[in-house]
Structures are given as C-alpha cells and as structure tokens.
Structure 1
C-alpha cells in the first residue's frame, strides 16, 4: 500500500490524473513502470499484489469518450488504488455478461459490490495482459535505450554483435547497428551498403562510391636474382610497386550544409564515427579511400587568427565574382589489414 501511495502522489502522476481522459492506455502503463522502476513489470507475476495499481472497467454505461476515466482511492475500505477504464472488462460498455448482471451493477442493487469485487479479480488480469501482449508485438514500444531489451539483443545476435563485451571492441554503441541490420547481415559488402552506413550518421549528404578504385601497392621485398623464394613464372614482380583495383573503393561524401564540414574532417566526431562503422561493416576485406567534396561556398574565411580553416584542406584564397566550385579533400583511408 505504501508504494501505491507514493506513486499517486508523485508530480508526474498528478499531472497525468489531471488529463487522464486524454491519456493513452498503453502510454499510461509505460509511465507507471518507469515511475515504479521495479524489476517485476506489471502483469508478469502470478499475484496482482506485485502491481502498483489495479485496473477495472467503469461501471457507467455511457458512451466512452476516452480510454481512461479516473483514479479511485478508497483508503478507508483498504482497497488498492484503482484506475477505471472505458474498454474491455466483464462489466461496463464492452461486457459480454448477461444483461441481468449488468443491470444490477448499473442500478446498484443489493450485493452488487460483492459481484464487482469478484469480477475485478479477472478484470485487472485481462487489462494487464492486454498491455503485455501489445508490448510484446510492438518493438518500438518495448525498446530500451542502448538496445538492452530482449528483442534488440536477439537482432544484434544475427549480426554477431550480441556477444557480451562487443561494444568495447568496436568502440561505439551497438544500438547504432539496429538501423543497419539489413546491410550488416548480408554475406557480401556492396556499394549501397557503404552508402547506407554513412547515411545513418550523416543524413544531409550525398554519397558516391566508386568501386574497383585503382591504387598503387608497394612491394616491400623486391624480386632479386638468386633469391630461392622467387619463381620467374610464379610470384616475381618487376618494379617496386604495382596497380591493384580489386580491394579498394573510393567514397565521396558531399555535405549539403556548411555545419557538417568541420565534423567530417579528420579529428571531428562524425569522421571518427564513420571510420568506426566502416571498420565493423567492411572488416579486413576492403580498403576505403574517403574524399570530402565541399562546395567553395561552405569554406570558412581564412584568417591568421582563425582556427576554422585548415591548411591543405579548407584554407583558400578569396576569389571575387566566381561561381561556387567543388573542392575535393582527402580525409583519410580505412585499411582493414596493413600492407
């Protein structure tokens, strides 16, 4: 009883009570669970004693203008705090019981209170289970911050990120990958997948991926005459480097707002997040070259006392009466394995 009194006297509960006819039933139950913060959620135990309040339908037969009617308190009768609803229940407008029983309750005939007390045992269980069923099949409602709910953990398990301690290895909250389940669970890594990964972090940008991007690869151990480990028809390479295009892609990011330029540069938060997500998505199979395509209209004014312009990246000389042009800046390279 003491816990129930604390719940109804809380500031949030008083605000809800003032607007109770306008409150949604499901949302009301969620707020109750957040206020109580019990490990045992409402309707999950065998006894209603563990629930903070009771649910019962309204005894009125009028047209239901809302889902909830009022909160009843009867401390002198030692009754638990009851929230009257206007749907479901074994009596009221949605009742399926014989009209004889309903007429006795509406007219308050002799013994009607005993009938109500008996039916309320089932009414509370019906309404709480109705809420539990809705919560089970509505993933957005049962979602917990950080993806800690059971459904999110199962979904992350499909991607291999449901193992305990994974977030420490990838360096970012695993809940970010809930928006990438369709991409991460694919057996191959595609250009559209890279675009989707970046779009999750930077929605206001255009992303273009150039597949089979040609790069020069240095040969650390050049072929030499007399080398027993080198075969002329096998692994011998002429020169100190060769061109390779099978494991490299070029990712061009074009922001639509000037405010996104600074965070996308090396050292910015968005740049770090993109590199982290690419590490999880690409793994060790692909090497990605990141390029930032900036409109000259987004470049900050270069000043000796300013810290926004970077030499070699965003610093530029003022050119009057010129149309905006695109400036490409290399912002890094992701390498799964060092060559």
Structure 2
C-alpha cells in the first residue's frame, strides 16, 4: 500500500508540473503542501521565502482559460504560480485595464519593476483568499490535523462543548459528532432516533410510540381509607385502587429485526450491542421517557431448544428458548427487554 501510494503521488506531482492549467487552484495548493511538507503554508506571518508558493497575477487581457496559467519550480524557494484570477491586474484585476497594458509594454522592454511591485500585494491577497477558503472546509482541516476546533463546535450543539463534558458518555464523542445533525434537532423526533439506530447498528429499526406501561405509585400517593384530608382518598379525584397505574405516553418501544441469530444475540443484555443501545437511548431522550426493546428473530434462524447446548443457540429462558416441532410460520418477536427505567 505504501509503495502504491508513493507511486500515485509521484504521478500526480509530475502531472502538476507538466499541466498546471488542468488543476483547480485550491487543489494545486493542497498538493504542494503535501509534496513539500517542510515549507510553510501561504498566508501566515512568516518570511515569504519560507512559504510553499509565491503568487503572481498574469498580465494579460485575454479571456482566462484556466485558474492557473503557469508554474515554475525553482530548486530552492517557493513555487512561483501565475494565476488568472483575483489580483490587481490581469483579466480579472481590480485596477483599470491601462495598468495591465502598461505592464505588458514594459515587459516587452525587459522592465518588470511595476509588475514585481504589484505582485507583492497580489501574493498577499491571494494567500489570504486561500486561507479563508481552507478555514471553512472541514475535510481540509482534518487533512491537516486541525479537526479539534470544528469538533468542539459540533459538540457544543450537543451540550458537550466544555472540556469537563468530553468523553464522559457510554458512546464515543466521535459517534455523537457523526450524528450531530440529528441530535441537535429540537424537539428530537422518533424518526431521528430510528435513523440513528438503524445506521449505527446497521439493522432494521422501528419506533413504536405510546406503547404504555405500569408504574408503581409512591406509598404517600396510594389510597388509604383511614387517612383524612388526603387527595389520594378522594373519590373521583385522586383515588386509585392498587399500587400501580397505567401510563400510556411515557414508554417507547424500539423494534429491531428481523435479525440473524448471531445478530439477535448481540442485542441481548449480555451481548456487545446492548450497552451501546442503552447509551444512545439515554443520550437521545435525556431520561425523559422509558424505553423497551423488542427483538425479532428471522423464522429460519430459530434454533431447536436443546438442553446443554452452548453458544448463541443454547437455551436462555425468556431470550432464546423456543420449543418447536415444525418450522415457524412467522418471525418470532416475543423478546421484550427494558432498556432504561426512569420512573421506577
């Protein structure tokens, strides 16, 4: 792989030398930075002789056919790049055309004084233009190892921008950054959760809202007929028979499957995907709802219940324990697991 990469880099550099006009300006500078890593990038507060390139405006009134007119590769010193855009003179220069015409006439007589003087400003203007372009390109920043600033911005959208909040989740910060676009939405939707889980685990995912569940009442809220002046004992107002109540809107069911047996086992409480799934659910919901997990196994993957069997096909009561005498006609979805309980 290393030899192939070096060979490809040599071929690209050779083409850049032969046909600079066929390259985009920004891409050409990025390549020069790769080919000459010992030199400084353009636009910094360093001596111009230490930079990777020196920019000059092309003194011509002809229509520019490319962004780069020519490249000169001195043995030592910056590459000299003749460009057809921006600058003070040339086809897209900001000075009136007579300045370009004057420079062309002086060049015919071998006098480059005015052109060299204006190129001092051309170089700085074009250098800052490149740095402004690079500043807001995430791929370029990561390429140069400068991803920290952008990552901090994305983590700030998720409430994790300060150092004390970094790397404290069950999930890696890189995973949260990858889905920052969905996680930053307010309010967060069931569709966003479905897209995140389906993409992260690479499995079919469905979200069933308002699945409901029983919740235990605190002792002080339970109905006791012997108590006086208690809201819990007032008929039609707070009286509840029993120590539990049904809440339809506080529980969400995540349905995953149909799955192969091996993938099914990953989402069981002792599987490698169970804790990451709980981490996603907790971070996404901020503990506002309870979640439960329903796993669906492919009917062809249902194992025979054999006592003493080992591995993922071994019987586990409530998880992997189907008794069958014939192939299943449906995908079994009997396994329902609690992911997070916020209300006891």
Fold-level similarity (TM above 0.5): yes
1:280 aligned to which of 258, 270, 283? 283
Q: Match for residue 163 of structure 1?
A: 162
Q: Please give the residue correspondences for 1:309-320 in structure 2 after superposition, counting only pairs within 5 Å.
A: 309-312=313-316, 313=319
**Number of matched pairs:** 320
1:285-314 superposed Cα distances (whole Å, 9 cap, x missing partner): 111111222322456899977634353445
Structure 2 residue 44 is matched with structure 1 residue 18: no
> In the aligned structure 2, how far is the partner of 1:85 from the partner of 1:336?
66
Contact 1:68 1:85 in 2 (8 A): yes
Contact 2:278 2:339 in 1 (8 A): yes
Runs (4 or more) in structure 1 with deviation over 6 Å come to: 10-13, 34-38, 58-63, 144-147, 227-230, 256-259, 300-306, 315-320
> In the aligned structure 2, how far is the partner of 1:258 from the partner of 1:104?
81
Q: Match for residue 78 of structure 2?
A: 81
Residue 170 of structure 1: SS of its match in structure 2? coil
Q: Please give the residue correspondences for 1:41-190 in structure 2 after superposition, counting only pairs within 5 Å.
A: 42-45=42-45, 48=48, 51-56=51-56, 64=65, 67=68, 69-75=70-76, 80-88=77-85, 89=87, 97-105=99-107, 107=108, 109-112=109-112, 114-142=113-141, 148-190=147-189
Contact 1:56 1:120 in 2 (8 A): yes
Contact 1:25 1:68 in 2 (8 A): no
Contact 1:54 1:81 in 2 (8 A): yes
Structure 1: 5+ residue runs without aligned partners? Answer: 1-9
Moved more, 148-157 or 89-98: 89-98
> In the aligned structure 2, how far is the partner of 1:116 from the partner of 1:301?
86
> In the aligned structure 1, how far is the partner of 2:145 from the partner of 2:267?
24
TM-score, normalised by the number of residues in structure 1: 0.71
Shift of 1:51: 3.1
What's the Cα RMSD here? 4.4
TM-score, normalised by the number of residues in structure 2: 0.70
> In the aligned structure 2, how far is the partner of 1:45 from the partner of 1:193?
45
Q: Match for residue 335 of structure 1?
A: 340
Contact 2:138 2:147 in 1 (8 A): no
Structure 2 residue 238 is matched with structure 1 residue 241: no
Q: Match for residue 215 of structure 2?
A: 217
Contact 1:214 1:248 in 2 (8 A): yes
